[in-house]
Amino acid sequence: MKRSGGILLFVLVLAIIGPWLSPHDYLSTNFDDMLRSPGLSGLHLFGTDDLGRDLFVRTMLGIRVTLLVAVVASLVSLVIGVTYGAVAGYVGGRVDAVMMRFVDTLYALPFIFFVILLMVAFERNFLLIFVAIGAINWLDMARIVRGQTLSLREREFVSAARLMGVSTARIIFRHITPNLLGIVVVYVTLTIPQAILVESFLSFLGLGVQEPQTSLGALVDAGVNQMEGASWMLLIPAAVLALILMSFNFLGDAMRDFFDVRQTP
Amino acid sequence: MRSIRRLLFFLVLSGVAACGGSDDGRESLSVLNRGLNTEPESLDAHKARSLQAADVLRDLGEGLVSFTSTGELTEGTAESWEVSDDLLTYTFHLRPEAKWSNGDAVTAEHFVFSVKRLIEPATAAFYAQFLVDVTELRAIDEHTLQIMLKRPTPYLLSLLTHPATFPMHPGALAEHGDGFARPGKMISNGAYVLTDWVPGSVLTLNRNEYYWNNANTAIDEIRHHISSQETAEYARYRAGELDITSSVPTDNFEQVRRDNGDELHIAPYQNIYYYGYNLSKPPFKNSPELRQALSMAIDRELLVEKVTGRGETPAYSWVPPGVDNYEPTVFAYAPLTQDERNQIAQTLYAEAGYSKQKPLRLELRYNTNDTHKKVAVAIQSMWRDVLGFEVDLINEEFQVLLANIRDKEVTQVFRSSWVGDYNDAHTFLSILQSQNAANVPGYASEEYDALLLRAAEQADLDRRRLYMEEAERVMLADHPTIPIYFYVSKHLVKPRVAGWGDNVLDYHYSQHLSLKAAE
Amino acid sequence: MLLRLLGAIPTLLLVIVLAFLMVHAAPGGPFDDERVLPTDVAANIQAAYHLDEPLPQQFTRYMAGLLRGDLGPSYRYRDYTVSELIGSGFPISLQLGALAMALALLVGISSGTVAALKQGSMLDRVVMSFAMTGISIPVFVVAPVLVLLLAVKLQWLPAGWSGESGFAKFVLPVITLALPQIAYIARLTRASMIDVLGCDFIRTARSQGLGSKAIIRVHALKPAMLPVLSYMGPAIAAILTGTVVVEEVFGIPGLGQFFVRGALNRDYTLVLGIVIFYAALIISLNLVVDILYGFIDPRVRQR
Q: How distant, in Å, are the alpha carbons of B5, C91, C143, C169 from that of B10?
A: 8, 22, 21, 14
pLDDT in tens, C113-160: 888 888 888 888 888 888 877 777 888 888 888 888 888 888 888 887
Q: Is residue C277 part of a domain?
A: no
ipTM for this prediction: 0.83
Residues of B in contact with C77 (CB under 8 A): 39, 41-42, 199
Would you call C167 exposed, middle or buried from its count of C-beta atoms within 10 A (0-12, 13-18, 19+)?
Answer: middle
Separation CA C189–CA C187 (nearest Å): 5
**pLDDT for A103:** 81
Asked if the Cβ–Cβ distance from B397 to A228 is below 8 Å, we say: no
Asked if the Cβ–Cβ distance from B307 to A124 is below 8 Å, we say: no
Structural domain boundaries enclosing C140:
90-264
Separation CA C277–CA B91 (nearest Å): 54
Asked if the Cβ–Cβ distance from B232 to C166 is below 8 Å, we say: no
- The CATH number corresponding to B268-489 among 2.60.40.1930, 2.60.40.3500, 3.10.105.10, 3.30.470.10 equals 3.10.105.10
Q: How far is C285 from chain B (nearest CA, A)?
A: 26
Asked if the Cβ–Cβ distance from A212 to B377 is below 8 Å, we say: yes
Q: Is residue C47 part of a domain?
A: no
Q: How distant, in Å, are the alpha carbons of A144, B22, C78 from that of B201?
A: 38, 21, 16
Closest to C95 measured CA to CA, from C247, C231, C235, C228: C247
Separation CA B261–CA B255 (nearest Å): 10
Q: Chains that contact C by 3+ CB pairs under 8 Å?
A: A, B
Asked if the Cβ–Cβ distance from B306 to A225 is below 8 Å, we say: no
- The CATH number corresponding to B37-226 among 3.60.110.10, 3.90.1150.10, 3.90.76.10, 3.10.180.10 equals 3.90.76.10
pLDDT in tens, C250-296: 778 888 888 878 877 888 899 889 888 887 887 777 777 777 777 76
Q: Is residue C293 part of a domain?
A: no
Number of domains chain C is built from: 1
Q: Which DSSP symbol is given to B223?
A: E
Least CB–CB distance from C141: residue in A190, A238, A249: A238
Mean pLDDT of each 10-residue bin along chain B, 519 residues long: 41 39 57 93 92 95 94 94 93 96 95 93 87 90 94 90 95 90 94 94 94 95 90 89 92 86 93 95 91 96 90 94 88 93 95 91 90 92 93 86 89 94 91 92 95 90 93 95 95 95 93 85
Q: Which DSSP symbol is given to C220?
A: I
Going from N- to C-terminal start, the domains of chain B cover 37-226, 268-489
**pLDDT for B26:** 47
**Chain C, 65-104: which have a CB under 8 Å from a chain B CB?**
76-80, 85, 88-89, 103
Chain A residue nearest residue B376, CA to CA: A211
Separation CA C89–CA C259 (nearest Å): 10
Residues of A in contact with B397 (CB under 8 A): 116, 119-120, 206-207
Q: Is residue C54 part of a domain?
A: no
- Contact (CB, 8 A) for B118 and B127: yes
Q: How far is C224 from chain B (nearest CA, A)?
A: 18
Chain A residue nearest residue B370, CA to CA: A222
Q: Is residue C269 part of a domain?
A: no
pLDDT classification of C302: cutoffs 50, 70, 90: very low
Residue A108 has pLDDT above 80, yes or no: no
Is the preceding omega at residue A212 within 30 degrees of 0, hence cis? yes
Residue C7 has pLDDT above 80, yes or no: no
User: Cα-flanking dihedrals φ and ψ of residue B35, to 5°?
Assistant: -90, 150
A228 or B391, greater pLDDT: B391
Q: How far is C126 from chain A (nearest CA, A)?
A: 13
**pLDDT for A23:** 87
Asked if the Cβ–Cβ distance from B42 to C77 is below 8 Å, we say: yes
CATH number for the domain formed by residue range(s) A2-263: 1.10.3720.10
Residues of A in contact with C259 (CB under 8 A): 110, 112
DSSP H helix total and E strand total for chain C:
13, 0
Pairing label, strands B361-367, B78-83: unpaired
**pLDDT for C276:** 86
**pLDDT for B216:** 94
Separation CA C111–CA C100 (nearest Å): 16
> B339: which residues sit within 8 A by CB, 6+ positions away?
none
**pLDDT for A93:** 85
Chain C residue nearest residue B48, CA to CA: C78
| Partner residues linked to B361 by β-bridges | B390
Residue C235 has pLDDT above 90, yes or no: no
Q: Is residue C134 part of a domain?
A: yes
Half-sphere exposure of B457 (CA within 13 A, CB side): 5
- Contact (CB, 8 A) for A74 and A131: no
First-to-final CA distance of chain C: 15
Q: Is residue C116 part of a domain?
A: yes
**pLDDT for B433:** 94
Q: pTM here?
A: 0.85
pLDDT in tens, A55-104: 999 999 999 999 988 888 888 888 888 889 888 988 888 888 888 878 87
